[in-house]
Chains A and B, each alone.
Chain A
Amino acid sequence: MTAPQPRRRRIGVYVCHCGGNISDYVDVGRVVEAVREEDDVVVAREAMFTCSEATQREIVEDIAAEELDGLVVASCSPKLHQTTFREVARRGGLNPYLYSQVNIREQCSWTHTDDRAGATEKAIRLVRAGIAKTRLSAPLEPLNVTTTRRALVVGGGVAGMRSAVALADVGIEVVLVEREDHLGGAVAGLGEMFPNQVRGDELAARLIAEIEQREAITVRTRSVLREKRGTYGNYEVAVETAGKVSRVAVGQIIVATGFVSYTPELGEYGYGMPGVVTLEEFDRLLAKSSGPLRAGGREVSSVAYLYCVGSRNEENPACSRYCCSAAVHASILAARRQPSLRQFHLHRDLRTYGRNELAFRESRRLGSLYLRFGDDDAPRISAEGEQVRVIVRDQLAAGEELALSVDLLVLVTGMRPRSNDELVNTLKLPVGRDGFFNEIHPKLRPVETIVDGVSICGACQGPKTAAEAVTSGLAAAAHAAAVLKRGVAELDPEVAIVRAEACSGCGECVSACPFAAIALLDGASPRARVDASACKGCGACVPVCPEDAIDLQGYRDVQLRAMITAMAGEVAP
C-alpha cells in the first residue's frame, strides 16, 4: 500500500529544555536545527519550560501568526503534559488531535546520561517521527455518550453513606447496597474518635438519619451486587436481595466496602489469654462503659499497648497507619476517665502524623510512658497470676531488658483488606499486592480506578481514619457527579474504526479485543462493528485483521509507517 500524497502542512515544533532535565544530556539547539529543515515545518523553537504559561502563550500566538495546522512538542512523557498541550492547541484554534507529543526526556535524556551524542541523535529521530505523524494527522472530535443519572454505591459504612448523601444533594439518584441488615459499617461500633472528638456511633446514626430524609437514595440492605453489564455511563447492574434479583440502570459505580480488623492468631502475643485484647476490643470496651475501667470482671489499674501487631512483619509488611494514633487516642480517653491508670506503650516507630502529634504529647502529659523496642526484638508475653507479664528491651533505656506486669494488654492491631472475590470479579476491581483495592494514583487520581465508571473510597483502598474515609467518599461522589450531572460524557476519540467495505466478517478482531468492544453485525454478510464507548484504543485488533480493514484513529497505519521511515533517515553527525 502506498501512502497518499499529503497536502502541504504548516507544522510548529517546540523542543523543551525542561530546565536542564533534557538539555543536560540532549543538545536541544542541535535538535532544533536538525528538524527545522524538515518538510512542512514552518516554526522550530526551543524553550526552557515549554509548559510554562509564557511559552504556551507564544505557541498560541505562533498558531495564529504562522497559520499552523499541526503542532509538535518534544518534551516529557505524554502522561504528564499531553492534555496540557492539546489544550494549548485548542486555545490557538487548532483541533487538539493535530498535536503530537514526543518524549525526549524519559526516552532520551534520562535514559542515556552516559551518551550525549547518542541521546541527541535519538531525540532528532523521535522528533522527525512526531513530525511525520502530525503531517498525516486529522482533526478528531470527542465521542459524546449520554449517561444514566443514577449511581450505585456498594457498602453502607461512613464512606459509602456520605458519598450517597453528597450525590443525592446534587440531584443524582443513588442505590445504596449493603450486605448487612443495617447501615453503619465499622464506625457505628466506635465511641469517641481522633482527631475531631466525634463519636463513631453518633456519626453513623447522623448519616443514617440524613439518608432516611432523602428520597433520591434507595437503601438495599442484606443485598449484594451480582452482575454488571453495559458500557461507560450506562451500566445495568443486578442486585440480589434475599434471593431475589432486580436490575437497575446506573451511570457510575462507587465501591466503599471497608476493611476487617486484624485478628491475631491464638497465642500471638498472648492473644486468647485472659487480660489480652485487640485494639478493636479495647475501643469497644471504652465506648460501651464509663467510669473506672473493668475487664473480665476485674478492675484495671494498668494497661500496656503493644503496637504493630499483625503489621510490618514478614506476612504483612504494610503499616496500617491509623493504629498508632488510635492507640494513643484510646490511652487519652482511658486516662481521662481514670487518672490513676498506669499506661505503657510498647512501640517500634510512632506514626502520629499531622495533628495526631498533639495527641501523642497529650498522652505523655497524662502519664503514658513510651518504650521503644527493636524490629527484631518483639516483647515476650506470659501469664502471671491474674496479670499479664511483659518483657521488653527498651531502646530508650539503652536496650535494658525490663519486666512489667499489667492488668490489661492491648494488642494494637491494624486494618486488613476484606476479601470479596465476587465483587472483584464482577467489577474487575484492581487489587493491590496488599489486598486493598487500587486507585489510579494516590495523589493525582485518588478515587478513580483503571475500570472506567468505577470509583473506590474509604478503607477498602487502604487503612483510613473515619474522617479520611468520609473525605474520600466525598471525592468519589464529586467524581461521579462531574460525569453524571452533565448528562453527557466525553470519550477519547482515539478508537478503532472498521472499513466496512473491506471487512470479511472473519471475527479475528472480536476474539482479540480485551474489552469486548467489537461485535459482528448480522446481515447478508457479517461485518465487525466497534462500540466506541467500550473501545480503549489499545490497537490489539489492528494487526490481527487479515484484510487490513481496521485502523486506530490518531495512530493510523499510514501514520505509523511514515513515522518509521522518518525515524530511519540519516542524521548528520
Chain B
Amino acid sequence: MTATVSPQVADALRTLGPFDPEVCMSCGTCTATCPLGIDVLPRRVLRDAALGLEDHLLAEAEAIFSCLLCRACESACPAGVHISEDIRLLRRYLLRKEAR
C-alpha cells in the first residue's frame, strides 16, 4: 500500500504553533532516552507528521497522549528538535480532528 505524502498536515500543525519535525535527523536518541518506553518511536511520530501520514498519526494517538512531556529526549536530542512542543501540537491537532 503506497501512502501519499501530504505536506498540508504539517502546514495545519504550523498554524497552531512552531513545529519543527524536519530538523530531526532520525538518529533515535529520543527512543533510547524515553523513560516511559512508549510503543511508538518519537522520531517515527515526528516523521509521520512531517510526511503528513495522517492515518499513521491517528493510529499512534495513544502513544502521543501517553508521553510524559518530561523532555528527557529533548535535552538529549543532538539536532535540537523541540520534541515536547511538537508532541503538544500533535495532541491539539488530534483533539481538533476528533471534535470535528
Interface residues of chain A, those whose CB is within 8 Å of chain B, are 302, 342, 344, 361, 364-365, 367-370, 391, 394, 396-398, 400-404
Task: Report the minimum CB–CB distance from B47 to chain A (whole Å).
Answer: 6
Contact yes or no, A401 B1, CB < 8 A: yes
Please, what's the 1-or-0 string for B20-62, where 1 marks a CB less than 8 Å from any CB in chain A? 1011111000000000000000001001101101000000000
Interface residue B4 (Cβ < 8 Å from any Cβ of A): yes
29 pairs from A and B in contact (CB 8 Å cutoff): A302-B7, A344-B5, A364-B23, A364-B24, A364-B79, A365-B23, A367-B22, A369-B50, A370-B25, A370-B26, A394-B51, A396-B26, A396-B47, A397-B44, A397-B48, A397-B51, A397-B53, A398-B44, A400-B53, A401-B1, A401-B2, A402-B4, A402-B5, A403-B2, A403-B3, A403-B4, A403-B5, A404-B4, A404-B5
Number of interface residues of B (CB under 8 A): 19
Question: Which residues from B are CB-within-8-Å of A401?
Answer: 1-3
Chain B residue at minimal CB-CB distance from A371: B51
Task: Report the minimum CB–CB distance from B63 to chain A (whole Å).
Answer: 15
A259 to B7, CA, bound (A): 38
A344 to B5, CA, bound (A): 10
A364-B79, A397-B47, A401-B1 are known contacts; what are 19 more A-B pairs with Cβ within 8 Å? A342-B7, A361-B79, A364-B22, A364-B23, A365-B22, A365-B23, A368-B22, A369-B22, A391-B2, A396-B26, A400-B53, A401-B2, A401-B3, A402-B3, A402-B4, A402-B5, A403-B3, A403-B5, A404-B4
A396 to B44, CA, bound (A): 8
Task: Report the minimum CB–CB distance from A324 to chain B (whole Å).
Answer: 14
Question: Which residues from A are CB-within-8-Å of B1?
Answer: 401
Chain A residue at minimal CB-CB distance from B25: A364
A364 to B47, CA, bound (A): 13
Report the 10 A-B pairs with minimum CB-CB distance, sorted nearest first.
A404-B5, A396-B26, A401-B2, A403-B2, A342-B7, A364-B23, A403-B4, A364-B22, A369-B22, A367-B22
Question: Which residues from A are CB-within-8-Å of B47?
Answer: 396-397
Among B1, B4, B22, B25: residue with most chain A CB under 10 A: B22
Interface residues of chain B, those whose CB is within 8 Å of chain A, are 1-5, 7, 20, 22-26, 44, 47-48, 50-51, 53, 79
Contact yes or no, B22 A402, CB < 8 A: no
Question: Which residues from A are CB-within-8-Å of B20?
Answer: 365
A400 to B5, CA, bound (A): 11
Question: Which residues from B are CB-within-8-Å of A394?
Answer: 51
A141 to B7, CA, bound (A): 75
Question: Which residues from B are CB-within-8-Å of A404?
Answer: 4-5
Contact yes or no, A402 B23, CB < 8 A: no
The one of A365, A367, A369 in contact with B51, judged by C-beta atoms closer than 8 angstroms, is A369
Chain A residue at minimal CB-CB distance from B48: A397
Question: Which residues from B are CB-within-8-Å of A368?
Answer: 22
Question: Which residues from B are CB-within-8-Å of A396?
Answer: 26, 47
Among B5, B20, B23: residue with most chain A CB under 10 A: B5
A361 to B79, CA, bound (A): 8
Task: Report the minimum CB–CB distance from B56 to chain A (whole Å).
Answer: 9
Question: Which residues from B are CB-within-8-Å of A391?
Answer: 2
Question: Which residues from A are CB-within-8-Å of B48?
Answer: 397
Question: Which residues from B are CB-within-8-Å of A302?
Answer: 7
Question: Which residues from B are CB-within-8-Å of A342?
Answer: 7
Chain B residue at minimal CB-CB distance from A398: B44
Task: Report the minimum CB–CB distance from B73 to chain A (whole Å).
Answer: 17
A398 to B26, CA, bound (A): 11
A397 to B26, CA, bound (A): 9
A344 to B6, CA, bound (A): 12
Among A367, A397, A404: residue with most chain B CB under 10 A: A397
Task: Report the minimum CB–CB distance from B57 to chain A (whole Å).
Answer: 13
A402 to B26, CA, bound (A): 17
A402 to B56, CA, bound (A): 13
Contact yes or no, B3 A400, CB < 8 A: yes
A365 to B21, CA, bound (A): 9
Task: Report the minimum CB–CB distance from B3 to chain A (whole Å).
Answer: 5
Task: Report the minimum CB–CB distance from A307 to chain B (whole Å).
Answer: 16
A226 to B51, CA, bound (A): 57
Task: Report the minimum CB–CB distance from A173 to chain B (whole Å).
Answer: 52
Chain A residue at minimal CB-CB distance from B4: A403
Task: Report the minimum CB–CB distance from A361 to chain B (whole Å).
Answer: 7
Task: Report the minimum CB–CB distance from A452 to chain B (whole Å).
Answer: 48
A46 to B22, CA, bound (A): 62
A394 to B7, CA, bound (A): 16
Task: Report the minimum CB–CB distance from B52 to chain A (whole Å).
Answer: 10
A404 to B53, CA, bound (A): 12
Q: Say yes or no: A402-B79 contact (C-beta < 8 A), given A342-B7, A364-B23, A391-B2.
A: no
Contact yes or no, A402 B51, CB < 8 A: yes
A403 to B20, CA, bound (A): 22
Chain A residue at minimal CB-CB distance from B5: A404
